Structure 1
Amino acid sequence: MDIKLKNKYAYITAFIICVYMFGISALSANDFIKNRKYLVADPYFTSSGFKNELVGYFNNIQALSGVYKDYSQKSDDQKVTKAELASSKTLYDSNLRNKEDEINSKYANEILAAEKEGIKATVSRLTEEKNKELDKLKKENTKTLEDFKKEIAEYKTKDYENVKKAVEGKSIIKYYIARGKGNVIDTNIQNVSDIDLYVKNNALYSIKFSKQALTNNNGIASINKWFTGNFEKGYFIIPKDIEPSSYIYESYIYYNSVGERIIKEIVIGAVSFSIGLFMLVYILYILKKNNKEIDFTQKLTKWYNKVPLDARVFIFIIYSFIMSVYLNTVVFFYKPYSLGQLHKLTIVAFYIFYFIFNVRMVVNLKRNKEEFRAEIKKCLLYKLSIFMKESPMTKTTKFKVRGIIILTLLAGVAILAAFIALMSRSIVIIIPIAYVFCYLLFIVIYSFNVIKAFVSIVKGTEEIVSGNLNYTIKEKGRGDLFELAHNINNMKSGFKKSLENEIKSERLKSELITNVSHDLKTPLTSIINYVDLLKKEDLSNEKAQGYIDVLDRKSQRLKILIDDLFEASKMASGAVELNMEKVDVTALLSQALAELHEKINNSSLIFKLKVPKEKVYANLDGKKTWRVFENLINNILKYSLPSTRVYIDLVVDDYKIIITMKNISSYEMDFDKEEIFERFIRGDKSRNTEGSGLGLSIAKSILELQGGNLSIEIDGDLFKVKLTVPCYQP
């Protein structure tokens, strides 16, 4: 044997024989598991089929002693009960009403359609046809109570005769019912004086019922209960001289033959398994001794190892499940022998080879821990987990992906469970089928929503690219697609705002140039004109002095414009030196009002000042803050409606000093309140008043450099300026 196995073909041949031996043992073991019920004593008489036969026979006996007791001696009126008569008539009337409803329903839609179209002739014709059918139905169904009684009596008589024939005729099953030892109630055994002796000498099978020793056989509890409540003793017997052609005897012989076959299969399976195991151990021993490997298994191992480990496990589970179903349905041990049996054996042998191959793989992985770790890292689930971990996806999306994977795996399990339940004809199949249905419904709806969201994003980006910045992508749900839609909308809004700011900036630059040119040109032109006038020699001293006064005012005006322009430039660049100190804001505001007292008195405005009596301190540059107050009060004097009130309030709220100045504008304020802070922008677009247009811009910059804020509110003609500075913190 050692010499033969040195040849590679000998290895393969021996291994194939080994696998086929295991296949035979697997088929015999499977047949034993499926048919082990045939190995008990008297397998047919313990089967559910025989118990059903026994119960059916007992039901006939029970009917004869109950429903059909003394039936042949009863009149037709006695044979039919009132309940049976009422039930039969109720069923008849119900069927008649259903037929009438069918006729009415048949014509209802057609009549309604004709009425809507206003075709009276059709309505009349259809109504007449309907009434004819109803009349015909009533004429054909005019049964009386006597008719019902006659039908029921005929049916019961026929059933009685069939039951009596089944019990008292040439019956295979014998029965014996008695109240005591000699008090026989009923039997179909002739000339029996001692029932126990009869059973001993003539019974192939018997079962006894009595009050003292109730049988515990499953499936015949109804017989047991009946004997307990009515009689003391009863037998059901299958005699030895049973008809060989009868169903019960044939089943009895068949069950016994199956049991004998199973015993032979057990022997064949045990021998086959022993031969296969011996050959396998011997092959492995010789290969290990000679340090060899079968060529085709080496190539197969190399190819198989390329498949991820978790995929191999999944394939093994599916293949094993398919084989378990196949083994549950296959029939192998039968005569005459045919090529079909070889085909079935080959299928099983191939699985045995696959099983041994996987067992060997598991053993190798268990021995080689490094290889096992490497295989784990190549697993699809491991790679998926790494991808999920390192992916920039949101937590919500990762949760959804994991959920879909789990639900999909469970759907696969549910399909397998449904298949198993189908094979076993179990009602549990409803659960996996319901799950698979819900899963498919969920996947379809979820996929539709994802595709819909993706299409919406694509359409939105196309609109934005084409220049439609007012298009907004709908943001629904959660996850990466929602985040993507949200980010695109934000990008679009930011780009739109940036574009609007750019356009606004260009417009303001244009207005700035125009306004600066206008405000500088006006006094400069006046200066040039008056200088030309002074050059004339025939001017009187008084007239020349008037021209000089005008030149002085215009020069001062030009100086103020240039100073404000430089001040605004410094504020914008942040190149301003602040002398921060503890300042009484109330006193500073009062000082600004006092400095402008003459202008206030010369105006028709009424100033209402409301400040705290105590001192209110803040850390400010006093001169710069005074400049803010001066600019704001000058604006009030320039642009307020004459003879109106001006309210100036100072309050301390939550470590903040809030100064509010309110006045009624003398012109329509149709400007953007944010643009009023831009340089050289005036609320009075006619520019009839003097001023640089830099006052509010400078005031806002001064306050912001000191940690404060300046804002305005417009309500109709009411112009409200709000200054906020932090309180002094020692």
Structure 2
Amino acid sequence: MQGDYFESVEYNSQMEQFVAMLNVYELYKMPIEEMKEKITVTDEEIEEHRMRYGNLGDQISSIGMQYEDQIQAAIDSGNKVAEEILKKERDDKVADITENFNSDEYVREKIVKEKEKKIDEFYRNLEEYSREFTNLRQAYKYYLKDTATGEVFTNLNLTKNESASDFLNKKDMYYVQDFSGLQRNYLFTGYNENFLPYNEVAETILENRKDRDMTGQIGLSKHASEKHFAIMNYKDYQKGQKLFFSYLLLSIAALIISYFLAKRKPATVFGSFDHLKPLYGRIPLDVRAVLLLVTGLFLLLSMTLISEQFVYYHSDVFSSLIELIISLIAAASLLAFGWIQLKFLSEYRKDWPKLKVDVNNSLLLKSYHAILNAFLIKSIGFQLLVILGIVFAMGMLFVAVLVAGGGEIIVIAIALGVISLPIFIMIMRKAGYLNKVLKHTEELAAGNLGADIPVKGKSAFAKHAANINTLRNTVKVSHKEQAKSERLKTELITNVSHDLRTPLTSIITYTELLKTPDLTSEDRDSYIEILDRKSKRLKVLIDDLFEATKMASGNIELHKKKVDLNQLLQQALAEHNEALSQSSLQLRVSQPDQPVYAFVDGQKLWRVFDNLIGNILKYALENTRVYISVREEQNQIVLSFKNITKYELGEDLNELFERFKRGDQSRHTEGSGLGLAIAKSIVDLHEGSLDIGVDGDLFKVTVILEKLN
């Protein structure tokens, strides 16, 4: 129905491929050396290359941190050779980065080398695709001329007295196109994966020559081989088009004939099938649905066979016609059978209650409920199945012996006794065990936890006993957790009272002292300074408690965006830079060279890093190393903070997440005891995890967040 083949998508795609290759291989062809000479580097490219990994300070700092741990490890192991090599590598990289920022020419040379590699890759691709271009040139003939220079490009074998019009005409070509409407429709490289792989450097250089004004024509030659794919596509299109219109006309004729035949002899098709409705209604609904589905599948199969006659051209017309007639008869019969079924089923539209009843009475639903109930406890269902199977088999054997006659009846009776006795004993033992389980359940319901029920074997009754034991142990654990909760609640009230009362007492005391009549100005200023410090301390405690409560309840709004966790951690470290430099702690930070992004609330997550670094400053043992690392694991970002504690920690580490809990049990430090609680709440709101671990005096906090790809 598309009309002419040369207006079809298939032909236009072939022509686009040929012209794209013609541009690269002939019209705008240039030697590799010439293309490399035309490489240009803009100031924007120099600046982009220079700032690719941040400013000079960031890049030097990143290189230093990258080699710091390796050099320290070499020093610790006494490996002088490795130490020197690592230092030289580091210094060379620093020198290279420094030179990038000092000299535009130095950067330009590096960019030129990168572009030359791209050009080499482009010419390797040209060699790989040259055979395909040669094949296309056998079918497509062209005569093109550069109007500015007069240069001619053609693959016609013209003699001195011949012109392009002697060949590019309707006599020798299937179709001829003007080149002017083709050349500006696409890129030189990579217009389609079937053409040439896209190459940005080569594209930019060739693009500068695209303003050449080329005139001429391209045609599909009638003298090309009949086996060439371009010619075969054209022939198949024509054959398929003729076949399609033949079928279309025949179908219209058949429809008209059928219409007039029906007018001459009207008939009620479904009236003769009404007597089958009661019989059809007795069939379960799911069986009727399967029957309709099978009918539909076979109808689709026959329709597929019909459609193949339209799509594919067959040289044996008689064979195709036979297949078409058989397919039409089968499709018509199946369509009628399916239509009758749909007619009967459509009556449910007027009787929805009947549909609900038939659904509940379907074989599938009945079988499902029966099996589900029988195997609600799998072992019982299986044992019941085995017992019934044995009884059924023995009954059939007994009936067979009775029918056959003979003295084997006594033997069968003895065999039945031997088999039924163990089954009887097994059932009685199961019943006794069940009674014991029920007795313990009654005691548990009465509040008497008592001892565990003995679990014997792997039967359903044994599993039931094990579940009751688990329930009893859960109740015990619940009692313990309740007692622990009460203890923690008491400790929370005590800690809150202590931490709030200390600054409050100071405020009251110094307020009273300020009321002294003969107070000197120096003492008054000193008291006011203390009042200011204590009141701010009290405000921090109250704000932290308020924030921890909001975090725990989830009543807080997150403003998430794309954040580089490397940079966020560096900002948090910079905030504590003075305190870290004044402390005796040796900080070791390990981060990836590239940014590590996550979709988080940067302000809230900065608070997590700030609290964890603050805890390190408060609780880390003097003159020890502190390790902070960032690494990527699959789709997660893992941050770890490790230090040696100056205080001995208790056994229950989870209590450190409780509000107003401190590693310093004497509460001599300035902390509020809310740092870890707030940090964990923030990480939980981000659907991450914050875990702590202790190995002796080594304290470790691990934060895991989802990475943004």
**Higher RCO structure (Cα 8 Å, ≥6 apart):** 1
Larger Rg: 1
- TM score, norm. by length of structure 1: 0.43
- TM score, norm. by length of structure 2: 0.44
